[in-house]
Amino acid sequence: MLSEIRDKTQGIFATFILVMVIVPFALWGVNSYFDTGGQINVAKVGGVEISQNAYRNEIDRLRGRMEPKTLDNPQFKQTVLNNLIEQALIVQQAEDQGYRIGNAQLAEIIRHQPNFQRDGKFDPALYEAWLRREGMSAQQFEARVRENILITQVQTGISESLIITQADIANLARLLAQEREVAYALIGADTLMAKTAVSGQDIEQYYSAHPEMFQFPEQVRVEYLRLSAADLDPKQPPTEEELKKAYSEEAARYVVPEKRRASHILVSLPAEPTGDQAKEALAKIQDIAKQVRAGADFAGLAKKHSVDSVTAGQGGDLGEIRRGVLPKELEDALYALKSGEVSQPIRSTYGYHLVKLTAHTPEKRKSFADVRKELVEAVRRRQGEERFFDVSEKFRNLVYEQPDSLAPAAKALGLEIRKSEWFTHAGGTGIAAHPKVVQAAFEPDVLSQARNSDAIEVSADTLVAIRVADRRPSGRKPLAEVRPEIERALKQERALQQARQLGEEALQELRARGSLETLARKRGFKYLPPRTVTRRQTAGVDPRIAASAFRAPRPEGDKPVHDLVDLGAQGYAVLALKRVRDASGKPDNGMLQQARALLTAHRGSDYFANYRAGLRQKAEIKTFPDQL
């Protein structure tokens, strides 16, 4: 199956454009989680080992988003491990099937990331600064990006391999365009709460019956020292000699590579063409080449004859091409052309091509003057990093050798002792936003024995050391503090019960006789007159009410269909579905496109889940739960 998917996603030009557009930085990479270096492992997937350190790094990444009790939940731990296992399986399978991301493609993707650009151009200094903040080397980050793209290509391939018929799309489009006329009456919880009384005895009983609701977690405040390479920048600017030396050493960095813009026309061939098929395709591309030589417009011919659906509409335009992007036979032909020239027919695994070089920008080296400002920043940064390396060892030794205070290290290194805000096991703000700091603060030696922590590397160029300054043990909030909270909770609970009861009584009455408008006026409900909604446009109607309207059966004749809709803390709504109007005529293109996208997303999600399950079923997987 994956071979079919690969065929659909790895056409040279479709892949090139896909890779340029889809950069999934929301996911982290995969091999960065896996090690084969003899460490304790939590799983083995084929020949790839997932280390305990890698697993814990992933838990740390999630720490700030989860409640502490969730992080300790065995089911949550297993889910994290399962995700890592499935990512490893997908990458292995993709690589086995020939998915590859070339170095040139990878570099182009990173260059086009807005985070790494200044004035619309890639800035190495911004890239390096981002890596330092994230605590990653360039190799680690680039490996993660490469593997994320592999996973994205597999997912995209699965979506594109789905069979979705025009009938499926048209049916869904008609459902999306269907209109339903709804009216409803609101039974607001807030109104009922104002009329609900709660006694002191009720509050005390609730407090006694729910002790777990009013617990507060253990909290600490820490003193800390921070040592950062940025704070160790030399005070004096670099000398001209230092700048020129750096320019010479980093010469390749200041070369703007040559760019070639190209267009092509593709006449396709089957994967295993017969002799007649190959002759027919060659004859067609030769005829097109003859027309080009006779002065015909290349872009016009591409629109008319090229089977590359991605580029044909743009006259065959491939955009700017750098070495390493195209298959060798096409690249060699392109780099042999002068601007405006068209190649002879070229055979590839996809068919026959004509390639035209539409523009050429030669390689250029930036002058010393052009990059002087950048060189100043780079040299100062490097000098700060060199000083940081020297000072960091002293920092580590001082906080370890004098564990009862941070003052000696602060005095020796000229650092300021700072103090954090209160934070819990879940972390906090400032220094407590770093999972490694939070973990260290609650280690027994630091928490209970009032010792300095070891030096903590919060990024590649920043160390901190902490000690607990204040501690608040966990406990139960006093009744006086939570009394208003309990009173509101009880009032809301009773108001919602009453709202539901009123709603059920209203339904019974409506099903027997009468209209919703009359009933709402009699009972004091807020009535909202009829309005028309579709699955795309709810006309200001609460989505929960609209969803209920589309789940309801069609009304028979003029008799509305009624339902009771739970609106959560807001109360309830009594719904009247008055009529259903099906779409007339043929759905428009916008509706058809939306229907296709919805079907692709829905079925693609199911298909991808089945694909992952299939990989797991066939793979040799060993897990070590006692190491989680």
pLDDT along the chain (628 residues), means of 10: 34 32 32 50 88 79 68 84 90 80 78 82 79 73 84 80 84 89 95 93 94 91 92 75 85 79 91 88 95 94 88 88 80 92 91 94 86 84 79 93 95 95 90 91 92 90 94 93 95 96 95 89 94 88 94 92 96 96 82 85 84 88 86
Output the CA torsion 175→178→181→185 (10° steps): 30
pLDDT of residue 65: 66
**Whether 222 and 342 share a structural domain:** no
Residue 225 structural domain: 218-240+371-473
**Distance in angstroms (rounded) separating the CA atoms of residues 224 and 386:** 23
pLDDT of residue 233: 64
**Whether 404 and 445 share a structural domain:** yes
The CATH number assigned to the domain holding 406 equals: 3.10.50
Give me the sheet containing 351-361, strands edge to edge.
317-321, 259-268, 351-361, 346-348
525 is a domain residue: yes
Which helix or strand (DSSP H or E) is residue 218 part of? none
464 is a domain residue: yes
Nearest CA to 266 out of 299, 306, 236, 302 is that of 306
**Whether 377 and 468 share a structural domain:** yes
**Whether 207 and 157 share a structural domain:** no
Rg (CA), the chain: 33
Residue pair 346/243 in contact (Cβ under 8 Å)? The answer is: no
* Sign, CA torsion 471/474/475/480: positive
**Which backbone phi and psi does 429 adopt, to 5 degrees?**
-110, 170
251 is a domain residue: no
pLDDT of residue 517: 94
**Whether 432 and 469 share a structural domain:** yes
- Kindly state the DSSP code that residue 466 receives in the 8-state scheme: E
**Distance in angstroms (rounded) separating the CA atoms of residues 269 and 347:** 10
Amino acid at 469: A
**Whether 79 and 154 share a structural domain:** yes
Residue pair 285/316 in contact (Cβ under 8 Å)? The answer is: no
**Distance in angstroms (rounded) separating the CA atoms of residues 624 and 51:** 10
3-class DSSP assignment, residue 310 = coil
Domain boundary among 473, 498, 514: 473
What's the chain's length in residues?
A: 628
How far is CA 108 from each of CA 30, 59, 90, 113, 325, rounded to the nearest angstrom? 21, 31, 24, 9, 10
pLDDT of residue 63: 67
**Whether 387 and 450 share a structural domain:** yes
**Which backbone phi and psi does 509 adopt, to 5 degrees?**
-65, -40
**Distance in angstroms (rounded) separating the CA atoms of residues 415 and 419:** 13
Nearest CA to 298 out of 359, 357, 360 is that of 357
**Distance in angstroms (rounded) separating the CA atoms of residues 68 and 70:** 5
Largest CA distance in the chain: 98
**Distance in angstroms (rounded) separating the CA atoms of residues 367 and 332:** 30
249 is a domain residue: no
466 is a domain residue: yes
**Distance in angstroms (rounded) separating the CA atoms of residues 157 and 97:** 13
Residue with the two structure tokens 């890592």: 84
Q: Both tokens of residue 226? A: 């921070």
- Cα 126–Cα 128–Cα 134 angle in degrees, nearest 5: 100
174 is a domain residue: no
Tens of pLDDT along 346-363? 998 889 999 999 999 888
250 is a domain residue: no
253 is a domain residue: no
Task: Count how many Cα atoms sit within 13 Å of the Cα of residue 540 in the half-sphere of its side chain.
Answer: 6
Number of domains, the chain: 4
pLDDT of residue 396: 94
- Kindly state the DSSP code that residue 574 receives in the 8-state scheme: E
Q: Which residues of 437-446 are buried (b: 16+ CB within 10 A; e: fewer)?
A: bbbbbbeeeb
**Whether 530 and 555 share a structural domain:** yes
Tens of pLDDT along 440-485? 999 999 999 999 999 998 887 889 999 999 999 999 999 999 999 9
How far is CA 229 from each of CA 328, 353, 462, 463, rounded to the nearest angstrom? 44, 53, 7, 9
**Which backbone phi and psi does 617 adopt, to 5 degrees?**
-65, -35
**Whether 455 and 322 share a structural domain:** no
The CATH number assigned to the domain holding 619 equals: 1.10.4030.10
**Whether 157 and 17 share a structural domain:** yes
Contacts of 159 (CB under 8 A, 6+ apart): 600, 601, 604, 607
pLDDT of residue 26: 31
**Distance in angstroms (rounded) separating the CA atoms of residues 105 and 91:** 18
**Whether 24 and 49 share a structural domain:** yes
**Distance in angstroms (rounded) separating the CA atoms of residues 297 and 314:** 13
Domain boundary among 438, 473, 508: 473
Alpha carbon of residue 5 to chain centroid: 23
**Which backbone phi and psi does 212 adopt, to 5 degrees?**
-65, -20
3-class DSSP assignment, residue 300 = helix
Residue with the two structure tokens 């579905």: 577
Residue with the two structure tokens 């069979």: 163
Full DSSP string of 104-138: HHHHHHHHT-GGGEETTEE-HHHHHHHHHHHT--H
How far is CA 457 from each of CA 411, 453, 605, 608, 622, rounded to the nearest angstrom? 21, 12, 39, 38, 32
**Whether 13 and 142 share a structural domain:** yes
**Distance in angstroms (rounded) separating the CA atoms of residues 503 and 511:** 12
